[in-house]
């Protein structure tokens, strides 16, 4: 992959008009950090495989570091920074530049009058240093995925899933026996579609789960 790819992504995201979810202000919020780095001629994105935990709807899923926005967080990005350090032991600094912000994704609908649902705010960062990760109990594994693998559409596969109680076929990638799909894939697709028009559009911006 050309060394210009990360520069192209940065330029593309600098003018990107993200979509703000209309229920963002009344929903609970979470934030994630999508960290891109140039390594050995490729651009890698850092992902985590979540630990398998009973009651966690994303148990065992491939995801990005991040978590819930707390009252103590001055901004949703502050939550992404805090949760990244808590989950993988990596402290983001001002040198790790935010190069873009993606559209809000509604990760969970409200289940009752007292439940406000959940909206995820994704931030894209360029990290020009080694990422030394020490996962905590919430993270089973830290994985660096080459973007060239995602851009190679021969690696894109349909996967059966049940959404809104209906069987569907949704796209996924299987990298080192780990399945990348759902919200995480929608975020990657959003980055790559805006930069490379030939890449498929995000299969689903708003998740029904």
| pLDDT digit string, tens, across residues 133-145 | 999 999 999 999 9
- Return the minimum-mean-pLDDT range out of 37-41, 76-80, 166-170, 201-205: 201-205
Terminal C-alpha separation, the chain: 35
State pTM to two decimals: 0.90
pLDDT tens for each residue of 45-89: 999 999 998 877 778 999 999 999 999 999 999 999 999 999 999
pLDDT tens for each residue of 96-119: 999 999 999 988 654 544 456 788
HSE (CB half, 13 Å, CA atoms) of 130? 3
- Return the minimum-mean-pLDDT range out of 20-24, 111-115, 168-172: 111-115
> What is the Cα–Cα distance from 117 to 50, expressed in whole angstroms?
21
27 falls in which pLDDT band (50, 70, 90)?
Answer: confident
Between 166 and 124, where is the model more confident?
124
The encoded tokens of residue 92 equal 């983001």
Domains along the chain? 4-147 (3.90.79.10)
Distance of CA 68 to the CA centre of its chain: 14
User: Given this model, what pLDDT does residue 1 score?
Assistant: 59
Is the Cβ–Cβ distance between 106 and 207 less than 8 Å? yes
Q: Is 87 exposed, middle or buried (0-12, 13-18, 19+ CB in 10 A)?
A: buried
pLDDT of 128 strictly over 50:
yes
- Please enumerate in sequence order all residues whose Cβ is within 8 A of that of 81, keeping only pairs 6 or more positions apart, or say none: 33, 91, 92
Between 100 and 201, where is the model more confident?
100
Is the Cβ–Cβ distance between 103 and 190 less than 8 Å? yes
208 falls in which pLDDT band (50, 70, 90)?
Answer: very low
């Amino acid at each position: 992959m050309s060394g210009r790819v990360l520069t192209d992504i940065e330029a593309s995201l600098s003018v990107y008009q993200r979509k703000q979810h209309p229920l963002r202000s009344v929903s609970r919020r979470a934030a994630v950090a999508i960290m891109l780095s140039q390594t050995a001629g490729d651009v890698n994105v850092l992902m985590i495989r979540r630990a398998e935990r009973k009651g966690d709807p994303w148990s065992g899923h491939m995801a990005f570091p991040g978590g819930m926005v707390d009252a103590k967080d001055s901004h949703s990005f502050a939550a992404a920074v805090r949760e990244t350090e808590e989950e993988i032991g990596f402290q983001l600094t001002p040198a790790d530049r935010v190069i873009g912000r993606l559209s809000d994704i509604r990760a969970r609908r409200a289940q009752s009058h007292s439940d406000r649902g959940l909206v995820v705010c994704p931030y894209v960062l360029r990290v020009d240093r080694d990422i030394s990760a020490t996962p905590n109990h919430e993270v089973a594994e830290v994985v660096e995925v080459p973007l060239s693998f995602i851009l190679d559409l021969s690696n894109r596969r349909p996967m059966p899933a049940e959404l809104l109680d209906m069987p569907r076929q949704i796209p996924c990638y299987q990298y080192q026996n780990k399945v990348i799909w759902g919200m995480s894939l929608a975020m990657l697709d959003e980055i790559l579609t805006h930069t490379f028009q030939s890449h498929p559009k995000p299969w689903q911006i708003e998740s029904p789960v």
